Amino acid sequence: REALAVTAQLCGPELERYGRCVAASPGSWHRDCHQLSLSVTECASNHPLVRRIRRDCSDSFGAFERCLRERPRSAAECGPHVSRFLLCAQNVTQNVTPGDSRSAAPGASPGD
């Protein structure tokens, strides 16, 4: 939740545009909204916690993205993939000490 909140706080306008595009293009959002998706990703990737989640949860996020590509008209079927990714992201954020940016930096480990 923390990473999603950070992304929403830092990248609110990008997320809003992407969400509107997805809602407006239920059958073709994966094509029509691709550039907006990239802008959200670029914005979010500037935050250390988001970078750590992307690194540590890349497998579960990749599975979720594959599911969406394979089922563009039935994204609800990708719920289990979303759940696995969110659980991973939650585990990452729980292992970060608040205010300790070192622990959220890529490659850092507890005790650095």
Asked if residue 25 is part of any domain, the answer here is yes
**Total domains, the chain:** 1
Residues in the chain: 112
Asked if residue 109 is part of any domain, the answer here is no
Q: Which two tokens stand for residue 27?
A: 């059958």
The boundaries of the domain holding residue 20 are 1-95
Asked if residue 74 is part of any domain, the answer here is yes
Q: What is the CA radius of gyration of the chain?
A: 15
Q: Give the tens place of pLDDT for each residue, 45-54.
A: 787 877 888 8
Q: Give the tens place of pLDDT for each residue, 2-36.
A: 666 767 777 888 888 998 998 898 888 889 999 99
Asked if residue 30 is part of any domain, the answer here is yes
Cβ neighbors of 16 (< 8 A, separation 6 or more) are none
Q: Does pTM surpass 0.85?
A: no
